[in-house]
Amino acid sequence: MVDDFAPFREFVCSTLGGASEFCVVGEAADGLAAIQKAEELQPDLILLDVGMPQLNGIEAARRIRKLAPSSRIIFVSQESSVEVVQLAFSLGAMGYVVKAYAGTELLAAVQTVLQGRHFVSARLAGNVFTYPEDPPGPFSPHKNARSHEVRFYSNHTALLNGLAQFIKTELGEGNAVIVLATKVHQNLLVQRLQAADPNFGSALQQGRYLPMDVDETLATYMVEGVLDVARFRKESEKLVDTAARTAIGKPPRVAACGECASTLWCRENPDAAIAVEQLWDEIARERNVKICCGYVLSNLQREREHDIYERICAQHSCVCSE
């Protein structure tokens, strides 16, 4: 952990130290000390400020990349200019968290980067950044690594655009796609896909696009506000098996996306939402299903319910704010 403000270092170390899977192995208060510590310790992950005495974080990162090439870097800084953030990513940083958002984003950023994915702070949503062509894969990859993304959007239009792009990509690869969304969103998604993808009609005829009304689906799985886990597993696995028979990709694969868990959170049932995410995570791992979960989440809600936000993020292999 590298930052010249001691109280913030203490906050970060306390936050990460409270998670059993992390161990803080060193601290530094300036860029030169950071380089020395990185070379000496060869840490798995370095959290690095930009504005520091003796040597700024950008120049420190440039040198660290040569001396500790396996160490992944997340910038945690007050600096939020697009130019600085892009430079950080160009140097090989895997994540960028604006300090004002560290309380709600830090753990999610660390978990995302250790999965081999980039993390961009919600403060920078709406900007497009480019990354080196060959990012590292997941840290200490497990045999049953999964693809279970969560994307947070500022409004419903952005959510629909994001889901439509995910669906278009997966159908283009020959995959079958299960879509869990409200009836209104289902209709709007079909309109977007018909306008953007000339092959969407063929995918419909082949049965590779499987729309599921989220309200009807939840009514099947919920009993007096509590998720029926056994029924959820049984019906979801049956749905995945049905979808797999329509896939034409090589190899054939199933993808799923939508707003099932986010609907439960909006209905003030976060425990059920997290239970749904846990079950989909198991399915992603066991059945090799590619999953993308969409949430419409304001900054106010993220801050007010940051504990729920962090628990949601923890169930995913990749976290994005768009």
Tell me yes or no: is domain 6-124 CATH 3.30.420.40.
no
What mean pLDDT do residues 8-28 have?
82
Confidence of residue 137 (pLDDT cuts 50, 70, 90): low
Does 234 have pLDDT greater than 80?
Answer: yes
pLDDT confidence of residue 74: 97
* pLDDT on residue 94: 94
Model pLDDT for residues 161-192, shown as the tens digit of each residue: 999 999 999 999 999 999 999 999 999 999 99
Q: What is the CATH number that goes with domain 148-321?
A: 3.40.50.300
For residue 223, the cross-strand partners are 226
The pLDDT-based confidence of 141 (bands split at 50, 70, 90) is very low
Give the CA distances from residue 309 to residues 266, 271, 295, in Å, rounded to whole numbers and listed in that order: 12, 12, 10
Residue 298: pLDDT band (50, 70, 90) is confident
User: How far apart are the C-alpha atoms of 71 and 285, rounded to whole Å?
Assistant: 27
Angle (CA) 7 9 13, round 5°: 120
Query: How confident is the model at residue 317, as a pLDDT?
Result: 77
Give the pLDDT score at 145: 53
Asked if residue 285 lies in contact with residue 115, where contact means CB atoms within 8 angstroms, the answer is no
pLDDT value at 139 more than 90: no
* Domain boundaries defined on the chain: 6-124, 148-321
The pLDDT of residue 246 is: 96
Segment 50-71 mean pLDDT: 93
User: What pLDDT score does 304 carry?
Assistant: 87
pLDDT band for position 262 (cuts 50, 70, 90)? very high
Tell me the two tokens of residue 216. Answer: 């009807």
Task: Tell me: pLDDT of 293 over 90.
Answer: yes
pTM above 0.75, yes or no: no
Strand partners, 321: 152
Judge if 6-124 and 148-321 fold alike in CATH terms: yes
Condensed to tens digits (0 to 9), the pLDDT of residues 92-119 reads: 999 999 999 999 999 999 988 988 889 9
